[in-house]
Amino acid sequence: MNAFTQSPQIEPSRELRDTCAIVGTATSRLGKVPGTSSLDLMVEAIRNALDDAGLKASDVDGVLCRGPDDSYSHHQLVAERLGVNARFSTTLTNGGASQIMSVALAVMAIRFGMANTVVCGFARDTWSRTHANEEVRVRNETRPESMLAREFGPEYGYYGATAAHAFGATRHMHLYGTTRDHFGEIAVAFREHALRNPQAQMKKPLTMADYHAGRLIVAPFGIYDCSLRSDAAGAVIVTSAARAKDLRQPPVLIKGFGTHNNTRGWFADDNMVVTAAKQAGEAAYRMAGLGPQDVDTAQIYDCFTYMVLTQLEDYGFCKKGEGGPFVASGALRLGGALPCNTSGGQLSESHCEGMLQIVEGVRQMRHTYPDHRQVKDAEIALISGHGGNQVCHSTLILGRA
């Protein structure tokens, strides 16, 4: 690439640092919620978040809510159910990177006078759609060929997100000697956190022996490397830092954000072992005026165990290739050097495409948890969102006011 094809380094606006705050947050019921829909769950989470903030629906003038990808203009359906005419509203479609992007967009909209109070949310009803009973299970597993890719995949028996991410895990193991024990420590650590969280979908302890005994899905991934199928919604409410001072909760400041997308493709370049978290994180750190050494807790998008390991490297918590020993040290545990996914994550709490990572980051910054769930003296939280075709990434840095 020459100087003209390589974009110059973007300097995110430090002017936006600390201008907005998250003033309310909540989830819906999580896990297996029969007889509900993603819209029901979304409205449930938003009602709870408004209660948390001490706000009414009529205070909201921005709605950035996303649902399942086949739900057309989900934000409109949500706003209708809230009885809100929104000044600023859309659905982002960047997979699991969308939810942090919606918070970043809310900050920009508030700063430039397009909205005052924005609700950002995500909801899915994946368990009800695919696992709730035999009928939906069969329908999910026998989708017609016309719904699959046309070529360069199905004819080889190549299906699903598990396999796509497993390609990265194999490559990382080859280059750096990473092992399934390293992946297992991530699954075990997050399960231990989930056992402290009464809302978590997974209730049973998980040992390393259980991890290795789990059936293989697409090797090197077994069942415990894979995130959950969940019915789940989460929401946060964003407003200006000035307005936040008058509200019910201690405001949590939005200190930095960044996005990057390795849209040349997951299979291109080194993208499966150096993710877009690298550039997204660098942008967020520069906006916040912080670095990895300042982060007290990380809430990392854990669609699969390996993705946590590689993102921790990309965010600079350890060097590239040293993620295995880093997680094996116990760093990710509550009480460890970098408590990570402290509510159990998508591997053990519920899978809500990164939205619950934002909720948990906010809650850790409020210091309202009992001691056994609280990251002691935490001042800064880093949150990641990853998705699309494995290449889209967004980063959010929160701090105590």
Of 39 and 166, the one with the shorter C-beta distance to other proteins is: 166
Residue 72 interacting with other proteins (CB under 8 A): no
Q: Answer yes or no: are the C-beta atoms of 234 and 45 closer than 8 Å.
A: yes
Give the number of other CB atoms < 10 A from CB of residue 248. Answer: 11
Residue 268 interacting with other proteins (CB under 8 A): yes
- Give the C-alpha separation, 233 to 308, whole Å: 22
Residue 240 interacting with other proteins (CB under 8 A): no
Question: Across the strands, what pairs with 239?
Answer: 21, 117
Residue 274 interacting with other proteins (CB under 8 A): no
| Residue of the chain from 12, 95, 96, 168 that contacts other proteins (CB under 8 A) | 168
What is the C-alpha end-to-end distance of the chain, expressed in Å? 43
Q: Which stretch binds other proteins (CB under 8 A): 170-178, 297-305, 347-355, 364-372?
A: 170-178
| Residue of the chain from 11, 70, 135, 145 that contacts other proteins (CB under 8 A) | 145
Residue 272 interacting with other proteins (CB under 8 A): yes
- Give the C-alpha separation, 398 to 344, whole Å: 19
Residue 154 interacting with other proteins (CB under 8 A): yes
C-alpha Rg value of the chain to the nearest Å: 20
Q: Answer yes or no: are the C-beta atoms of 284 and 257 closer than 8 Å.
A: yes
Pinpoint the alpha helices (H) of 85-133: 98-111, 126-130
| Residue of the chain from 80, 93, 148, 203 that contacts other proteins (CB under 8 A) | 148
Residue 139 interacting with other proteins (CB under 8 A): no
| Residue of the chain from 87, 131, 171, 196 that contacts other proteins (CB under 8 A) | 171
- Give the C-alpha separation, 266 to 268, whole Å: 6
| Residue of the chain from 10, 213, 219, 337 that contacts other proteins (CB under 8 A) | 219
Does the N-terminal peptide bond of residue 220 adopt cis geometry, omega within 30 degrees of 0?
A: yes
Residue 174 interacting with other proteins (CB under 8 A): yes
Residue of 289, 253, 295 lying closest to 18 (CA atoms): 253
Of 220 and 234, the one with the shorter C-beta distance to other proteins is: 220
Residue 247 interacting with other proteins (CB under 8 A): no
Contact residues for other proteins, defined by CB under 8 A = 141-142, 145, 148, 150-160, 162-163, 166-168, 170-171, 174, 215-220, 267-268, 272
